[in-house]
Amino acid sequence: VALYEHRPCQVEMAGEVWRTFRAGGFLLTEAGTGTGKSLAYLLPALHSDRRVVVSTGTKALQEQLSRKDVPLCAQVLGRPVRVATVKGRANYLCLHYWARFAAEPLLRDRSEIQHLKTLSRWAAETKSGDRAELEGVPEDLALWQDVNARGERCLGSRCPAYRECFVTRMRREAEAAELIVTNHHLLFADRMVRTRADAAVLPEYTHLILDEAHEAEDAATSFFGRTASRRMLQEWVQDASKAVPGEKVTLLAALKAAGEAAGRFFDLWAGEERREVFHPRELPPDGAALRRRMETSLDQASLQMETGGMGEEALGLLERLEEWREAFSFVLDESEDTFVRILEARGRNVILSASPIEVAPILKEKLWGDLKASVLTSATLTTGGSFAFLRDRLGVPEEARELRLQSPFDFASQGLFYVPEFLPEPTSPAFLEAAREEVRELVHASRGRAFVLCTSYRNMRAMAEHLASTVPFPLLVQGDEPKGILLERFRAAGDAVLVATSSFWQGVDIQGEALSLVILDKLPFAPPDDPLTAARVDRMRRRGRDPFQEYQLPCAAILLQQGAGRLIRSRQDRGVVACLDVRLRRKGYGRLLLSSLPPFATAGDLDEVRAFFRTEPTAE
Ligand code: SF4
C-alpha cells in the first residue's frame, strides 16, 4: 500500500523548509488545504539534526501530528523518532491536588459523583496524566479545575509529588526529544515564564515551525498579557487555608479576613455580565480604600505565613500570591500604555487583565530574537495575495522568504460559493428572521450534512431553535456535548446539522459527504466595541493608519477563509459554502474578501444551490 502520493507543491514546500533550516531566517508559507504541509515540514525537521519545536494553533492538529503524521514520518524514515507532545499544564492531572481532593472530595452537585468515579479510575491507570485520554466526561468539567496541574498553584520542586508529577515527566521527555509538538498557548506561556528558574516547560531550542500561524496573534495576546481574577485569589485563600494546621487560628483568621477583603473589592463589579475597557484611575467610589484594605490584609496573611513555621508548602503558596499581586499591580497601576486594561464580570467572578495592544514588539524581543530559523505556515496567511498583514501583526521582518502554494483541489468544480442576492443586511432588524428561513431552505437542499457557523451565541441559539422545529435531520448544538463528541456524532449520523460559533470556524476536519454545506451567518468582523479591537483600531488611527483596511478587514478575510475551508478537505469532497452576508456583494471591500477565498464557482440564487446538490452522485 502506498504511504503517500506525490504532490509537487508538497515537495516544493519541503525544499524551502529545508533551505530555511540550513540558512536560517524566516519562511512564510501559505499552503492551501490538501498540500500536505505537515509532512512537508516534519521530514526536513527530522533531517535537520536540530531540536525542532512544532507549534499548532489547535489541539486537534497537535493530536493529528502526534498520532498520525509523526508515526508516518518514522515509518518513512525507517527509524524511531524521539518526539514529545507538550500541552498546557491545565491539561494534566496534578498528583498533589488530586491526592488531596480524592481524600476529601467536595462535590458541587450529584452529577459529579459519576464523573468522580470515571476520573478516579483513569487517575489510577494513566501514564501521561493528559486529560485527552479521559473519555466520558464533559469538556468543561468543573471538577477538573480542582485537580489540574495549572501553573499558578503548582508547588514546583517543593511538591511532595514532584518526581512522579506528570508535568515533570513531560519536561524530561521534552528534554530528550528531537521533535517537540506543542501548541501556541504553551509556546507563548513558556516564553513568558522562561526567565523564572524552574518555570519553563520547553527545553532550549533555536528552530521553530509555527503551524496555523494565523492564530498566533490571539494566543500571544493572551499569554503576554497579565490577569488577576477574583477566582484566582479565592482559590489561593482556599488552598492556603487547607494547608494551615487547625491550631494556627490567628493565621486562619488572617486568611479569612484577606478573602473577605478581596471579596468586598471585587464586589464593586460583580453581578452584571460584561467585558469592557477598565480605567484604573476611575475606580468606583470606595475603590481605592477597598483596594488598600485588601492589600493590607494580604500583607498580614503572608507575613504570618512566612513566620508561622508552616514549612515548604508555605513558600510555594507565597510565591503564588506574589505572582497574583504582581499581575494585579500591573493591571491597576497603568504605567504601561502599550497594554489595554479589560474588566470582565462573569457571574461572581471578576477578571482584571492587561492585554498587549500589539504583540509584534514582544515577539521580536521574546521569541524571534532567540531563534535561528522560523517557519510560519497555515492554509490562510495572506489577504488579497499578500503576506504584509501577517508580517506586520507578528513582527516578522520584510526579508522573510515567502512561498504561496495553491491547493491541489479543483475548487471550481468541487465547490460552490453562495451569497444570496436578496437578504437584509446583517445590521437590519429583519436579518435574523430572514437568515433563519434561508438556512432552513439550504439545509433542506443539502439534505442535512451541514455546519451552521454563527458569529454570536444569540444567532446560534436562534438558528438552532428554528431548525429544531423545521428540519427532519439530527440537530447538534455547540455546548450540548464536548466538541469532540459533537464532531463524532456529526460524522456518524451522515445527515446531521451542527450549529456552532467561532470555535468551530477553525481547525475542524470532516472529510466526505457528512459535511456538504457550510453556512456562515455573517462576515466575521470582530465587534468594534470589543476592548482589544477598539484599542488596536485607536492606536492605528493615531498613527495615521487605516485600521479598517489594515486590520479589521484582513482579520475578517482570514476568518472567512477559515470558515469556508471547513468544506473541501479532500479531492473527493464536494459542497456549498453559503455566506448570508450580502455586504459581500454590495460593499467595495467584498471584492478583497472574495479574492482571498479559494476559486469556488459562485451563485446568488437558491435554485443554483438546489441544482448543485441534485447533480451529486448520491442524489436520488
Ligand atoms: S509539581 Fe506542581 S503540578 Fe506537579 S504534582 Fe506537584 S503541585 Fe501538581
pLDDT, tens digit, for every residue of 418-439?
Answer: 999 999 999 999 999 999 999 9
Greater confidence (3 vs 339) lies with 339
Radius of gyration of the chain (CA): 26
Q: 156 C-alpha to center of ligand 1: Å? A: 6
CA distance 250 to 566: 59
* Candidate of 97, 128, 319 to mutate for ligand 1, largest count of ligand atoms within 8 Å of Cβ: 97
C-alpha cell at 73: 514520518
Cell triple for 445: 437542499
Ligand 1 atom nearest to CA at 89: 3
Residue pair 518/566 in contact (Cβ under 8 Å)? The answer is yes
CA 373 to chain centre: 24
Q: Ligand 1 pocket: which of 87, 89, 96 to mutate (most atoms <8 Å of CB)?
A: 96
Lowest-confidence range among 164-168, 307-311, 439-443? 307-311
DSSP line for 150-178:
-GGG--GGGSTTTTT-HHHHHHHHHHH-S
**pLDDT for 1:** 45
Residues 6+ apart with CB under 8 A from 315: 158
Q: How far is the CA of 98 from the centre of ligand 1 (A)?
A: 10
Confidence class for position 65, pLDDT limits 50, 70, 90: very high
Q: Are 404 and 377 in contact, with CB atoms under 8 Å apart?
A: no
Selection from 132, 154, 72 nearest residue 484 by Cα: 132
pLDDT tens, position by position, 496-553: 999 998 778 776 777 778 889 999 999 989 888 899 999 999 999 999 999 999 999 9
Q: Can you list the alpha helix ranges (DSSP code H) found in 338-430?
A: 360-366, 388-394, 411-414
Beta-sheet pairing, 349-356 with 226-229: antiparallel
Which residue has a Cα nearest atom 4 of ligand 1?
A: 165
What number does the ligand 1 atom closest to the CA of 159 have? 6
Q: Who lines ligand 1 at CB under 6 A?
A: 94-97, 149, 154-156, 159, 161-162, 165, 167
Q: Looking at ligand 1, which atom is closest to the CA of residue 92?
A: 3
Q: Cα 244–246–252 angle (5° rounding)?
A: 60
Single-letter code of the amino acid located at 81: V
- Give me the numbers of helices (H) and strands (E) for the chain, helices first please: 26, 18
Confidence (pLDDT) at 619: 44
Q: What percent of the chain has pLDDT over 70?
A: 97
CA–CA separation, 565 vs 523, rounded Å?
14
Between residues 335 and 46, the one the model is more confident about: 46
Cell of 218: 490571539
The one-letter amino acid code at 352 reads L
| Mean pLDDT score of the chain | 90
Percent of the chain scoring above 90 in pLDDT: 65
Q: Output the CA torsion 493→494→495→497 (10° steps).
A: 70
Q: Tell me, in angstroms, the distance from the centre of ligand 1 to residue 472's CA.
A: 50
CA 426 / ligand 1 centre spacing (Å):
49
- From 89, 166, 168, 236, the mutation candidate for ligand 1 (largest count of ligand atoms within 8 A of CB) is 168
Asked whether the predicted pLDDT for residue 370 surpasses 60, the reply is yes
Centre of ligand 1 from the C-alpha of residue 174, in Å: 17
The alpha carbon of 163 and the centre of ligand 1 are apart by a number of angstroms equal to 9
- pLDDT tens-place string over residues 184-237: 999 998 888 776 656 678 999 999 999 999 999 999 998 899 999 999 999 899
Mark out the alpha helices in 89-229 (DSSP H runs).
Answer: 95-103, 111-125, 142-147, 166-176, 184-193, 216-223
Residue type, position 369, single letter: G
Pocket mutation for ligand 1, best pick of 92, 94, 128, 169 (most atoms within 8 Å of C-beta): 94
C-alpha cell at 314: 508555605
pLDDT of residue 209: 98
* Residue 370 and residue 20 in contact, taking contact as beta carbons nearer than 8 Å: no
Cβ 417 vs Cβ 603: under 8 Å = yes
C-alpha cell at 402: 515567502
Q: For a substitution probing ligand 1, which of 100, 152, 155 has the most ligand atoms within 8 Å of its CB?
A: 155
Q: Report residue 617's pLDDT band, with 50, 70 and 90 as the boundaries.
A: low
For 294, the grid coordinates are 485588601
Query: Which atom of ligand 1 has the smallest separation from the CA of 316?
Result: 7
DSSP label of 374 = E
Query: What's this model's pTM, rounded to 2 decimal places?
Result: 0.85
Q: Is the pLDDT of residue 453 over 60?
A: yes
* pLDDT for residue 2: 55
Cell readout for 451 is 455546519
CA 153, 159, 165, 171 dihedral sign is: positive
Q: 83-85 and 415-418: which strand pairing?
A: unpaired
Strand partners, 497: 450, 475
Per-residue buried b or exposed e for 362-390, using 16+ beta carbons within 10 Å of the residue's own CB: bbeebbbeeeebbbbbbbbbbbeeebebb
Residue 615 pLDDT class (50, 70, 90 cuts): confident
Q: How far apart are CA 352 and CA 427, in angstroms?
A: 31
Could you tell me the three cell numbers for 519?
A: 453556512
Q: In 3-state terms, what secondary structure has residue 304?
A: helix
Question: Can you give the pLDDT at residue 462?
Answer: 95
Q: What spacing in Å lies between the alpha carbon of 87 and ligand 1's midpoint? A: 15
Kindly state the DSSP code that residue 36 receives in the 8-state scheme: -
| Pairing state between β 517-520 and 274-277 | unpaired
> Which of 262-266, 333-337, 346-350, 379-383 shows the lowest per-residue confidence on average (mean pLDDT)?
333-337
Rounded to the nearest whole angstrom, what is the distance from the C-alpha of residue 297 to the centroid of ligand 1? 28
